[in-house]
Chains A and B, each alone.
Chain A
Amino acid sequence: MNALVELHGVSKRYGSAAALQPTDLNFARGQTTVLIGPSGCGKSTMLRLIIRLLEPDSGKIKIDGASVSSSNITEFRHRVGYVIQDGGLFPHLTARGNILLMARQLNKRIALDELCALTRFPAQALDRFPAELSGGQRQRVSLMRALALTPKLLLLDEPLGALDPLVRAALQKDLKEIFQRLQQTAILVTHDLAEAAFLGNEIVLMNEGRIVQKGTLGELRSQPTSSFVSEFITAQRSLALT
């Protein structure tokens, strides 16, 4: 069985508005899957459902073939890394404090220098507070925090969304290397098709709470299953040209 995460008929609604229609989807082990689609199409909702920040209204989510229940949710979360757009770093803790927080709670030792090398973070900046770091450095710290307990699954919600293009390009390259080196199963949300193509083994295109098509960028481009797919790709390409 090759899928690490399986969604079976999972749905979520807020009041009368459906954020995610009943969805079946598998995420392959050791692969990077990218969720892409227009704003509000349900990408973040899917990540929040997987790490159980939200409970699904219907359906089942299986991780490694097993359901997550309230009794094993904490242990489950220790094995999942979660990185969000502004980093979600705790402002009262230093970079080091943020990264080691969970490990210290669990009395685990962590090779911080290896993490720094992996994410190309200057070790002398470890004792700075988030407010004293640049946006790119904050995302590297957030990534180290997510990787600290060697997660079997890494969830990234627009991790590079707020960065300037140069820093963003550097981080894209580093992320790709990290994923490959760690054989990391990762689910990444982005708005940027180029980033999706660069980082993802598979792209999942969503619209209005449902999956429209999945495959590589080449497949989406050559065999679009609907006009929405081609329009989305064209819009992104013309955006990149201007």
Chain B
Amino acid sequence: MRFLGAVLFFISTMASAKPVVIGSKKFTESYVLAEIAKHSLGEAGISVEFRPGMGGTIIVWEALRSGQIDIYPEYTGTLAEEILKNADISPEMMQAELAKNRIGMSPELGFNNTWALAMRREAAQRLSIRTISDLRTHPELKYGLTHEFLDRRDGWPALVRRYGLRTGNVQGIDHGLGYEALRTGSIDIKDAYSTDAKIGENDLVTLEDDLHFFPQYKAVYLYRLSLPTNALAALQKVSGTLDEARMIRLNAEAERTKNYARAAALYFGDASDTAESFSHKLLRWTARHLELAGFSLLLSVLIGVPLGLIASRPGFLSQIILGLTSAIQTIPSLALLALLVPLPFFGISVRTAIAALFLYGLLPIVRNTATGLQDIAPSIRESATALGLTTGARLRRIYLPIASRTILAGIKTSAVINVGTATLAALIGAGGLGEPIISGLNLNDHVTILEGAIPAALLALLVQFFFDLLDRVLIPKGLRL
């Protein structure tokens, strides 16, 4: 029991140390802006905890509002439309609304990352299209638009109405694939962000929004008003220093080098390689990965074995326990994380990842413990009772050792599942080998994905091997004959 207490204490302190926590959304520019904030605070000697790539607007906003993070980069348009749900709100009103949530907004960073329509420079020149209004005379053009842009109330349908476009040829296409389609000519026009690095890379032009249809998406930092003044000063140094061209360069650098920290370093005029060496990163990921999988497994064992013990006796309780643990197993891991994040104690944290992995690890251990105990021959049980062993002694000296092979097999299954599933912890910023996998997926960079995927697979093999060794130590020799 003391041991369990210590474990819980450790887990709770792990998540409650008090550096300034910087989060970001899950796309390149947000990563880069978060890195810039981190760098800026770091230069001011403020200790920073970094949680990049936490998810979409609502997740990151909720994390800020509930105090799980202190700073993240946001856009005024998103703030008005998605968070405050008031498209026409003035900047002063915006500040006031935010203050109600004890949140502040930095002065604008400089650039406006709004929607834009992009086409090949060569095609635009050939058809002499410069503005969106010019599209009216070219109904033959093929549009490939992201689903998000197509579906938004303030997106494509509103744009068509405002400009009076006649368009027959519109299809939904993934953002990344859309650039490829533009390049090969299977579409002529796609939606883009005005600071998208791909615009420079693919020699595209953005069409002027001559009727001022698109809202302003000025980049800002949102921060908790409780932020220490020295941290706030360091953060505000960034304001007004980033125009579109510069942001496009930083985004391009991030996508070229697959390294957000390096793009941030470019902003600070430090192009030298400040990035962590690969071996150091790998060590950090692996250590965190083992920490996640190890703690959750420990909890699964500490709770799962007693539950299995109860479940080994026929009855209502047994059915409830086995039913519940099986039900947990059928929840997709992403959904389980999503369910835990809104709960008070959990949120975007290592705790949540450990809790989810712990829940996943339960079933194999509970089920195997129950089966192992049920499979003990009645003659053994009778003999143990007739000898006059107490209930506890029967369990410790006879039943658990005899069931040890089955129980260990359950623990092994849990461990391997945990090592695999722990990669998902990176989705809620808990780190581990999932970190390179997630950012690799975001950058569409296979090498980065493999940097996480290969060590994760090797780790699973190692765990398997380790437990095979453990079998020899822990399963009594008399049972291995």
Partner pick for A92 among B386, B390, B402, CB 8 A cutoff:
B402
The chain A residue sitting closest to B405, CB to CB, is A92
Q: Is the CB of A77 within 8 A of B478?
A: no
Given contacts A74-B388, A78-B388, A91-B402, contact A129 B478 (CB under 8 A): yes
Residues of A within 8 A of B478 (CB): 91-94, 129-131
Tell whether, in the assembled complex, residue A53 and residue B380 are in contact, meaning their CB atoms are under 8 Å apart. no
B residues in contact with A85, CB < 8 Å: 379
B94, chain A: closest CB distance, angstroms: 70
User: Which range holds the interface residue count of chain B?
Assistant: 20 to 34
The 0/1 profile, CB within 8 Å of B marked 1, for residues 191-215 of chain A is: 0000000000000000000000000
Q: Mark B412-454, 1 if CB is under 8 A from A, else 0.
A: 0000000000000000000000000000000000000000000
Q: Bound state CA distance, A48 and B378, in angstroms? A: 13
Render A80-100 as a binary contact track against B, CB cut-off 8 A, 1 for contact: 101011101111111000000
Query: Is A145 part of the contact surface with B, judged by Cβ < 8 Å?
Result: yes
Q: Is A226 an interface residue (CB 8 A)?
A: no
User: Are the CB atoms of B383 and A90 closer together than 8 Å?
Assistant: yes
Residues A82 and B386 in contact, CB atoms below 8 Å apart:
yes
Whether, in the assembled complex, B382 has its beta carbon less than 8 Å from a beta carbon of chain A, the answer is yes
A102 to B481, CA, bound (A): 24
Q: From B148-156, B206-214, B393-401, give the one contacting chain A.
A: B393-401
Q: Is A107 an interface residue (CB 8 A)?
A: no
By a CB distance below 8 angstroms, the chain A residues around B382 are: 48, 53, 82, 84, 88
B386 touches A77 (CB 8 A): yes
- Tell me whether A105 and B402 are in contact (CB under 8 A): no
What is the 8 Å Cβ interface bit string for chain A, positions 121-138, against chain B (1 contact, 0 not)? 000000001111000000
Q: How far is the CA of A88 from the CA of B397 in the complex (A)?
A: 15
The answer, yes or no, to whether A118 is at the interface (CB within 8 Å) is no
Q: Shortest beta-carbon distance, A104 to chain B, in Å?
A: 9
Please give the distance in Å from A47's CB to the nearest CB on chain B: 9
Q: Would you call the interface of chain B mostly helix, strand, loop, or mixed?
A: helix
Of A48, A92, A132, chain B has the most CB atoms within 10 Å of the CB of A92
Instruction: Determine if B473 is an interface residue (Cβ-Cβ < 8 Å).
Output: no
B19 at the interface (CB under 8 A from A): no
Chain A residues with CB under 8 A of B402: 90-92
- A91 to B479, Cβ gap below 8 A? yes
- Pick from A48, A76, A88, A129: contact of B380, CB under 8 Å: A88
| In the complex, residue of chain B having the shortest beta-carbon distance to the beta carbon of A79 | B388
Bound: A75/B383 CA distance, A: 15
A28 at the B interface (CB under 8 A):
no
Q: Please determine whether B389 and A105 come into contact, CB atoms closer than 8 angstroms.
A: yes
A82 touches which of B387, B390, B476, B477 (Cβ 8 Å)? B387
Residues on the A chain within 8 Å of B282, using CB: none
Assembled-state Cα–Cα distance A145/B384 (Å): 11
The interface residues of chain A lying within 8 Å CB-to-CB of B401 are 92
Contacting residues, chain B, for A76 (C-beta < 8 A): 388
Q: Tell yes or no: B202 within 8 A of A by CB.
A: no
Chain A 47-88 interface 0/1 with B at a Cβ cutoff of 8 Å (1 = within):
010010100000000000000000001111110101011101
Quick check: is B230 within 8 A (CB to CB) of the other chain? no
Interface size, chain A (Cβ < 8 Å): 29
* Alpha-carbon separation in the docked complex, A105 to B397 (Å): 10
Please, which residue of chain B has its CB at the minimum distance from the CB of A104? Answer: B397
Query: For window 176-234 of chain B, which residues contact chain A by CB distance below 8 Å?
Result: none
Complex CA gap A92/B479 in Å reads: 5
Tell me if A90 and B380 are in contact (CB < 8 A).
yes
B95 within 8 A of A: no
Q: Assess whether B171 is interfacial by the CB under 8 Å rule.
A: no
CB of B385 within 8 Å of the partner chain: yes
Q: How far is the CA of A53 from the CA of B387 in the complex (A)?
A: 11
Let me know if A102 and B386 touch, CB within 8 A.
Answer: no
Q: Are B386 and A101 in contact (CB under 8 A)?
A: no
Q: Which of B388, B476, B479 contacts A77 (CB 8 A)?
A: B388
Question: How far is it, in angstroms, between the C-alpha of A93 and the C-alpha of B401 when the chains are bound?
Answer: 10
Give the docked Cα–Cα distance between A76 and B481 (Å).
Answer: 35
Whether B481 and A90, one on each chain, are in contact in the complex, defined by CB atoms closer than 8 angstroms, is no
Tell me which residues across on chain A come within 8 A of B385, comparing CB atoms: 53, 77
**Residue pair A75, B388 in contact (C-beta under 8 Å):** yes
Query: A94 vs B479: C-alpha distance in the bound complex, in angstroms?
Result: 11
Cβ–Cβ < 8 Å partners of B388 in chain A: 73-78, 102
Q: How far is the CA of A84 from the CA of B478 in the complex (A)?
A: 20
Are A145 and B386 in contact, with the CB atoms below 8 A?
A: no
Q: A92-B476, A132-B481 are in contact. Are A84 and B379 (CB under 8 A)?
A: yes
- Contact present for B386 and A53 (CB under 8 Å): yes
Q: Report yes or no: A74 in contact with B383, Cβ–Cβ below 8 A.
A: no
**B380 cross-chain contacts in A, Cβ below 8 A:** 88, 90-91
B215-268 residues at the A interface, CB under 8 angstroms: none
Per a CB cutoff under 8 Å, which of B387, B393, B481 touches A145?
A: B387
Do the beta carbons of A84 and B383 come within 8 Å of each other?
yes
Distance in Å from the Cβ of B25 to the closest Cβ of chain A? 56
User: In the complex, what distance in Å separates the CA atom of A82 from the CA atom of B382?
Assistant: 9
Q: Are B387 and A77 in contact (CB under 8 A)?
A: yes
B383 adjacent to A101 (CB under 8 Å): no
Measured CB to CB, the closest approach of chain A to B383, in angstroms, equals: 3
Q: How far is the CB of B298 from chain A (nearest CB, A)?
A: 25
Q: Give the distance in Å from the alpha carbon of A86 to the alpha carbon of B388 in the complex.
A: 19
Q: B384 — which chain A residues lie within 8 A by C-beta?
A: 90
Q: Which residues on the B side are within 8 Å of A145 (C-beta)?
A: 387
Bound Cα distance A149, B397 (Å)? 18
With A and B bound together, what is the CA distance between A157 and B430 in angstroms?
61
Nearest chain A CB to B473 CB, angstrom units: 14
Residues of B near A129 (CB, < 8 A) are 477-478, 481
Write the chain A residue with the least CB distance to B477: A129
Interface residues, chain B, with chain A CB atoms under 8 Å away: 379-380, 382-390, 393, 397-398, 401-402, 404, 476-479, 481
In addition to A86-B379, A92-B404, A105-B389, 16 A-B residue pairs with Cβ atoms within 8 Å of each other are: A48-B382, A53-B385, A74-B390, A77-B386, A84-B382, A85-B379, A88-B380, A90-B402, A92-B401, A92-B476, A92-B477, A101-B387, A102-B388, A105-B393, A129-B477, A145-B387
A-B contact pairs, 17 of them (CB 8 A): A76-B388, A77-B385, A77-B388, A78-B388, A82-B382, A82-B383, A86-B379, A88-B382, A90-B383, A90-B384, A91-B402, A91-B479, A101-B389, A102-B389, A129-B477, A129-B478, A130-B478
The 9 closest A-B pairs by CB, nearest first: A77-B388, A88-B383, A92-B476, A129-B478, A82-B386, A131-B481, A78-B388, A88-B379, A92-B478
